[in-house]
Amino acid sequence: MIGYQVKDGVAEILLNNPPVNAITVAFLDALMAALRRADADPDVRAVTIASALPGRFSAGLDVPTFLRGTPEQAHTVVNMLYVQLHELQASLGKPTIAAVTGAVRGGGISIAITCDMIVAADDATFGYPEMEVGLLPAIHYTHLPRIVGRYRAFDLLFTGRTFDAREALELGLVSRLAPQSQVAAEAHGVARVLAAKSPTLMRMGKRGFTRAIDNGYRQGAGSAVDLITVVSTTRDGREGMQAFAEKRKPVWSAD
């Protein structure tokens, strides 16, 4: 599910869960294990996270598994994505760069935003389609309005529309753009620049930066996990996920 190699002091982590890098407990376990491995390796000074699948960074949560699971299982996977992965990245003493190519949706964006920088392909596409499949992009309620403003955040989160990499850059959601064929090289180049800096200063600086920008993220993340868990048990939550699994339009309740 997760590839790992070290090159020039940079750990390159590859998401590889065909066909769409759907997010499951096993997938997140493997991703976090790779991050811990990089953190423990003194020869690693920076990390990149990219997709091994052409045209897809991650489609987000694995909805069919979510549909079949219990509320406790839903809570587990969302807590791993929203809280544990964020905490691991925040405590990592090494910078991480997401190299985003293809389509990135919902939970896939949740993975990317745990990184310190995001380099995106100029033809990448983004979106928060959770409401269409019976879920909510709850974690993004915490951070997105602070980046793009209340009204633009509401637009993106509640319409679920797809937007391109240029708009993502203009909104401040990604750090840099590069041609699709050069995204990995661009991310690796940035990682090498960061890897050349003092590891002590990088570790201390990243810790201070993370504290400064937290702005209640941890509290918001816990509330988001609870909200998703409850939503997954509602009539419309179940209907949205069932409709997605059956490839049909959902029939929402009147209330």
Q: Would you place residue 120 in the very low, low, confident or very high pLDDT band (cuts 50, 70, 90)? A: very high
Q: What's the rounded Cα separation, in Å, for the pair 28 and 26?
A: 6
217 has a pLDDT exceeding 80: no
255 has a pLDDT exceeding 80: no
Give the per-residue pLDDT at 219: 76
Which residue carries 């993340």 as its tokens? 221
Give the per-residue pLDDT at 121: 98
130 labelled catalytic: yes
215 has a pLDDT exceeding 90: no
Take residue 165 and report the two structure tokens written for it: 């990499």
- Exactly one of 12, 72, 87, 130 is catalytic; which is it? 130
Which residue carries 């997401």 as its tokens? 98
> Does the residue 189 lie in any domain?
no
> Does the residue 200 lie in any domain?
yes
Give the per-residue pLDDT at 66: 84
Which residue carries 């896939």 as its tokens? 108
> Does the residue 97 lie in any domain?
yes
**Greatest CA separation found in the chain?**
59
Query: What is the number of structural domains in the chain?
Result: 1
Phi-psi region of 230 (alpha: psi -120 to 50; beta: other; left: phi over 0): alpha
Neighbouring C-beta atoms of residue 175, cutoff 10 Å? 17
Indicate which CATH number applies to the domain containing 68.
3.90.226.10
- What are residue 122's phi and psi, to 5 degrees? -70, -10
Angle between helices 139-148 and 217-231 (to 10 degrees): 130
pTM assigned to the model: 0.95
Residues with Cβ within 8 Å of 159's Cβ and at least 6 positions away in sequence, in order, are: none
Q: Which domain holds residue 44?
A: 2-184+196-246
| DSSP helix/strand/coil, 1 | coil
> Does the residue 67 lie in any domain?
yes
Neighbouring C-beta atoms of residue 203, cutoff 10 Å? 15
More confident residue, 200 or 219: 200
Give the per-residue pLDDT at 214: 80
Structure confidence by residue, pLDDT tens digits, 159-183: 999 999 999 999 999 999 999 999 9
Omega within 30 of 0 (cis) for the link into 54: no
Structure confidence by residue, pLDDT tens digits, 59-103: 999 998 888 889 999 999 999 999 999 999 999 999 999 999 999
Q: What's the rounded Cα separation, in Å, for the pair 177 and 182?
A: 10
Give the per-residue pLDDT at 167: 98
Q: Quick one: average pLDDT of 40-45?
A: 97
Which residue carries 């974690």 as its tokens? 139
Contact 78, 225 (CB under 8 A): yes
218 has a pLDDT exceeding 80: no
User: Whole-number mean pLDDT of the chain?
Assistant: 95
Q: Quick one: average pLDDT of 182-199?
A: 97
> Does the residue 255 lie in any domain?
no
